[in-house]
Amino acid sequence: MPAEARARRDAFFAAIGKTPLIMGILNLTPDSFSDGGRFQSPDLALAHARRMVEDGCAIVDVGAESTRPEATPVTERQEVARLAPALERIIDGLGVAVSIDTTKAIVAALACRLGAVIVNDIWGLQRDPAMAETAAEAEAGVVITHNRAEKDESVDIIADMRRFFDRSLEIAAKAGVPLTRVILDPGIGFAKTARQNLQAVAGIAKFGDYGLPMLVGASRKRFLGSLTGNGVEGSLVGSIAVNLAAAAAGAAIFRVHDVAENAAALNLYARLRAAA
């Protein structure tokens, strides 16, 4: 990893736990559930990334394949074609770390060569058998996200998350990814019922024994709509409420679309908690 990228990676990990950190979402997709098609132009993507940094995000998470339910899968070639024109400009044009949101090792490798410093894998290194080694070779951090093949109301979701995390951490260790570069994500909205999503947020504190930072990505997720009554994607208020609850449970990083609003709420929460 080049020295400049390593410095950005290390600065991001060093900041975890000192203040709530915002991961800004940048979708280079035509079909993401919330902002698909808005930032496919490299100029628009870079402008939006810069705006998120100005609004307070500590890392920009770039993805080129939608992870929404029922999304049409894309090939490696398609994902690279969407990603390549904008990613290098984004990395070179920002002063913060950039992560790559992908389930494909080939895409992760390309992104890391261009300067991405974290691989955000919604299958927790368990889908593509080359992903863990790719991240290790690139000296990248990894976000291990809990996921399932399908929803099952009968599943004890906390126990399922622990089994999943144990397996992913075993894979990471075998590949040579140090624990100091691992982040856990409860996978809000991924093959969970509304009840299980709530349990996953409330249960964040139960994973403190891992000694690893927790990232939460609840922004505009579908289950918020059923909680707030404001429709399929819920509302900004719902997203902030979940993030504040997650912060109270011990989450350190928050993946969001609306950076300024979430940053303001979480920073105020942190100041109030420090004064208590």
Active site residue 51: no
Residue type, 128: D
Inter-residue contact 266 to 249 (CB < 8 Å): no
Rg (CA), the chain: 17
- CB pairs under 8 A, 24+ apart, for 15-20? 15/58, 16/183, 16/213, 16/252, 16/253, 17/213, 17/252, 19/267, 19/270, 20/247, 20/252, 20/253, 20/254, 20/263, 20/266, 20/267, 20/269, 20/270
Considering 8, 148, 221, 222, which one is annotated as catalytic? 221
Given 3-state DSSP classes, what are the helix, strand and coil percentages for the chain, each rounded to the nearest 5?
50, 15, 35
CA 28 to chain centre: 15
> Helix 259-275 and helix 236-249: axis angle, to 10°?
40
d(CA 64, CA 81) in angstroms, rounded, equals: 9
Considering 8, 192, 220, 255, which one is annotated as catalytic? 255
CA 84 to chain centre: 20
Active site residue 38: no
Query: Which positions are catalytic?
Result: 221, 255
